[in-house]
């Protein structure tokens, strides 16, 4: 059994505020040579080919097909045959791999706060919302100025690939598109509201509120309250996101016309030792096929950079650095299947986090050529130089039963998804590539801090690049600039 260590996230912080990161599910025991416990497999037909021959091979090998994603030539199968992988290989099957042990997690320790709900009626002005005074994040990216022009168009639906959305929440009840919401747990679509509602995690509800909480005289305002969100639940009750769920989620969002998805989780195949375990490569290849399909269908994927304060660009390629043994140093060009997903997949907008002073949040990962833009994600430590936590410097949003604070790059991502929704409302018809470059062009550039940046002891990082740099990419997204 092997557990992923969350780099630089002391438990005290994780308890105080929500920090999303990646962790590894315990690997299952090796399968016995014959019948054993059921495992889930991804079976890849040749790229561009159909899955008919692969379906026959799965049946012959003693597998049950749970889902057939013909759009990308991927089957999700389940089998108790310990020799399933060997048996299913052959003509019509490019590769096959079990997803056992390849689940990643969200960390979602939000704190709810009491709220005065006897507030005045909304006027369409976000600054009249009762909790507006706490929404430094919205002021930072000029949301009020944007809302004077548009709050977004209801035809724009942002898919929240997360732990489910509470559609009964007073700030979200009018905002969730139920007919486009679904659970993808297990790689299989379930459209019942119970299936796509939150069970063990508040994370998805928090993300949804940042994107689209209503201007209704209650609680907070989101970035694009005129647009809507759909719950695409990919996090299971144990807190894990398995590759088959992520694949199902990307395809569901793309096939239901969602022009933007928000992805507040982070799959780091290297943490799963992808390069030394070729068995895993088909799994990550299937995830990339799904991402690429969704981009072709017109969906922009917004992804969080992660909360490990690591340089994503130099993590593996800096062969001049001493290899500390934590990652193999290899040429990434030959190991495309081992990219961090979705953060490093082509066409994905990857987001780092800043706090109330528009400086990199101490926990935010970064990387030249990886981070495209930044957005408010909160920083509860900058105010005291790391000594103590200031909860109001996190991001306030909706949680089941109320409103709560959380910080993390998974809080920054939904600000970008919301701004993307505003951009599509003001300028309909943009393709994902055009939208991505529009978000970058309209961002407010943020300069690199000089020298070593260490806002909190133990969280040192060095920024590289000019106007476009490793900490902030093209800069902080701006809601007004995309609608004016
Ligand atoms: Ca509200
Ligand atoms: Ca990118």
| CA atoms of 53 and 475, how far apart (whole Å) | 48
Same domain, 149 and 51: no
Same domain, 116 and 82: no
Q: Is residue 89 part of a domain?
A: yes
Domain that holds residue 48: 35-100
Same domain, 183 and 300: yes
Same domain, 257 and 364: yes
pTM: 0.87
Same domain, 399 and 267: yes
pLDDT at 317: 47
Rounded to the nearest angstrom, the distance between the alpha carbon of 339 and the centre of ligand 2 is 12
Q: Is residue 361 part of a domain?
A: yes
Residue appearing with tokens 């490569």:
281
* Four-residue CA torsion sign, 99, 101, 103, 104: negative
Same domain, 116 and 53: no
Q: Which ligand is nearest to the CA of 127?
A: 1
Rounded to the nearest angstrom, the distance between the alpha carbon of 375 and the centre of ligand 1 is 21
pLDDT at 167: 98
Same domain, 209 and 236: yes
Q: Is residue 482 part of a domain?
A: no
The C-alpha angle 388, 9, 411, rounded to 5 degrees, equals 85
Which domain-ending residue is among 48, 75, 100?
Answer: 100
Rounded to the nearest angstrom, the distance between the alpha carbon of 172 and the centre of ligand 1 is 8
pLDDT at 102: 87
pLDDT at 69: 96
Q: Is residue 255 part of a domain?
A: yes
Contact partners, residue 65, CB within 8 Å, separation at least 6? 55, 58, 59, 75, 76, 77
Residue appearing with tokens 């507006």:
132
What percent helix, strand, coil does the chain show, rounded to 5? Answer: 30, 20, 50
> 243-255 and 281-296 helices cross at what angle (nearest 10)?
10
Closest CA to 180 of 267, 123, 257: 257
Cβ–Cβ < 8 Å for 379, 356 = yes
Q: Are strands 395-399 and 300-304 parallel, antiparallel or unpaired?
A: unpaired
Rounded to the nearest angstrom, the distance between the alpha carbon of 419 and the centre of ligand 1 is 17
What residues have a C-beta under 5 A from ligand 1, the ion? 129, 171, 214, 216, 218-219
Rounded to the nearest angstrom, the distance between the alpha carbon of 188 and the centre of ligand 2 is 28
pLDDT at 47: 87
Which domain-ending residue is among 100, 123, 157?
Answer: 100
Rounded to the nearest angstrom, the distance between the alpha carbon of 369 and the centre of ligand 2 is 7
**CB atoms < 10 A from the CB of 32, how many?**
11
The C-alpha angle 286, 291, 296, rounded to 5 degrees, equals 125
Q: Is residue 47 part of a domain?
A: yes
The structure tokens listed for 242 are 């398995």
Q: Are strands 300-304 and 260-263 parallel, antiparallel or unpaired?
A: parallel
Same domain, 87 and 229: no
Q: Is residue 26 part of a domain?
A: no
Q: Are strands 452-453 and 461-462 parallel, antiparallel or unpaired?
A: antiparallel
Instruction: List the CATH number of the domain containing 262.
Output: 3.40.50.200
* 73 SS3 class: coil
Which residues pair with residue 96 across a beta bridge?
43
Same domain, 89 and 186: no
| CA atoms of 347 and 433, how far apart (whole Å) | 7
Q: Which ligand is nearest to the CA of 172?
A: 1
Rounded to the nearest angstrom, the distance between the alpha carbon of 394 and the centre of ligand 1 is 18
Q: Is residue 280 part of a domain?
A: yes
Same domain, 167 and 227: yes
Instruction: List the CATH number of the domain containing 40.
Output: 3.30.70.80
pLDDT at 19: 39
| CA atoms of 420 and 426, how far apart (whole Å) | 10
Rounded to the nearest angstrom, the distance between the alpha carbon of 62 and the centre of ligand 2 is 40
Rounded to the nearest angstrom, the distance between the alpha carbon of 400 and the centre of ligand 1 is 14
Rounded to the nearest angstrom, the distance between the alpha carbon of 280 and the centre of ligand 1 is 44
Contact partners, residue 10, CB within 8 Å, separation at least 6? none
Q: Which ligand is nearest to the CA of 343?
A: 2
Same domain, 79 and 127: no
Q: Is residue 22 part of a domain?
A: no
Contact partners, residue 324, CB within 8 Å, separation at least 6? none
Q: Which ligand is nearest to the CA of 215?
A: 1
Predicted confidence pLDDT, tens digits, the chain (484 residues): 232 322 222 222 222 233 333 333 333 433 334 567 899 999 999 988 799 999 999 999 999 999 999 999 999 999 999 999 999 999 999 999 999 888 876 643 334 444 433 333 233 589 999 999 999 999 999 999 999 999 999 999 999 999 999 999 999 999 999 999 999 999 999 999 999 999 988 999 999 999 999 999 999 999 999 999 999 999 999 888 999 999 999 999 999 999 999 998 777 777 777 777 777 888 889 999 999 999 999 999 999 998 889 898 876 543 433 344 444 444 444 356 677 888 888 899 999 999 999 999 999 999 999 999 999 999 999 999 989 889 999 999 999 989 999 999 999 999 999 999 999 999 999 999 999 999 999 999 999 999 999 999 999 999 999 999 999 999 999 999 999 9
Closest CA to 416 of 258, 304, 308: 304
Q: How many domains does the chain have?
A: 2
Q: Which ligand is nearest to the CA of 436?
A: 2
Which domain-ending residue is among 67, 100, 133?
Answer: 100
Same domain, 173 and 258: yes
Rounded to the nearest angstrom, the distance between the alpha carbon of 342 and the centre of ligand 2 is 9
Q: Which ligand is nearest to the CA of 173?
A: 1
């Amino acid at each position: 059994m092997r557990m992923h260590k969350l780099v630089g996230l002391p438990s005290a912080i994780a308890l105080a505020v929500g920090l999303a990161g990646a962790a590894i599910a315990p690997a299952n025991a090796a399968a016995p040579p014959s019948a054993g416990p059921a495992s889930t497999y991804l079976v890849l037909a040749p790229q561009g080919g159909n899955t008919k021959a692969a379906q026959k091979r799965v049946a012959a090998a003693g597998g049950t097909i749970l889902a057939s994603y013909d759009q990308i030539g991927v089957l999700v199968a389940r089998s108790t045959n310990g020799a399933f992988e060997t048996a299913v290989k052959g003509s019509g099957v490019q590769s096959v791999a079990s997803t056992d042990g390849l689940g990643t997690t969200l960390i979602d320790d939000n704190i709810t706060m009491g709220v005065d709900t006897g507030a005045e009626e909304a006027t369409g002005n976000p600054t009249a919302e009762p909790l507006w005074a706490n929404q430094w994040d919205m002021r930072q990216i000029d949301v009020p100025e944007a809302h004077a022009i548009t709050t977004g168009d209801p035809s724009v639906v942002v898919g929240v690939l997360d732990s489910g959305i509470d559609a009964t929440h007073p700030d979200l009840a009018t905002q969730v598109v139920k007919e486009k919401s679904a659970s993808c747990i297990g790689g299989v679509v379930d459209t019942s509201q119970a299936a796509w509602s939150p069970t063990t995690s508040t994370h998805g509800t928090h993300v949804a509120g940042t994107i689209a909480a209503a201007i209704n005289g209650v609680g907070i305002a989101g970035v694009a309250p005129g647009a809507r969100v759909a719950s695409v639940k990919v996090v299971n009750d144990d807190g894990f996101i398995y590759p088959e769920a992520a694949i199902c989620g990307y395809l569901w969002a793309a096939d239901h016309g969602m022009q933007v998805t928000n992805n507040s989780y982070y799959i780091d195949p290297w943490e799963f030792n992808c390069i030394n375990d070729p068995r895993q490569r088909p799994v990550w290849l299937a995830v990339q096929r799904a991402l690429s399909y969704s981009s072709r269908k017109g969906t922009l994927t917004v992804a969080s950079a992660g909360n490990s304060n690591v340089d994503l660009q130099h993590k593996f390629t800096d062969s001049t650095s001493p290899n500390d043994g934590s990652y193999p140093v290899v040429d990434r060009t030959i190991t495309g299947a081992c990219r961090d997903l979705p953060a490093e997949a082509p066409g994905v907008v990857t987001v780092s986090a800043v706090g109330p002073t528009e400086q990199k949040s101490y926990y935010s990962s970064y990387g030249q050529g990886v981070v495209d833009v930044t957005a408010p994600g909160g920083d509860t430590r900058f105010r005291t130089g790391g000594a103590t936590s200031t909860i109001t410097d996190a991001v306030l949003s909706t949680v089941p039963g109320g409103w709560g604070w959380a910080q993390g790059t998974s809080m920054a991502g939904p600000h970008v998804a919301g701004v993307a929704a505003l951009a599509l409302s003001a300028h309909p018809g943009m393709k994902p590539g055009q939208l991505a470059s529009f978000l970058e062009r309209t961002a407010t550039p943020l300069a690199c801090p000089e020298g070593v940046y260490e806002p909190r002891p133990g969280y040192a990082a060095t920024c590289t690049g000019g106007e476009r740099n490793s900490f902030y990419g093209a800069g902080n997204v701006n809601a007004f600039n995309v609608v004016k």
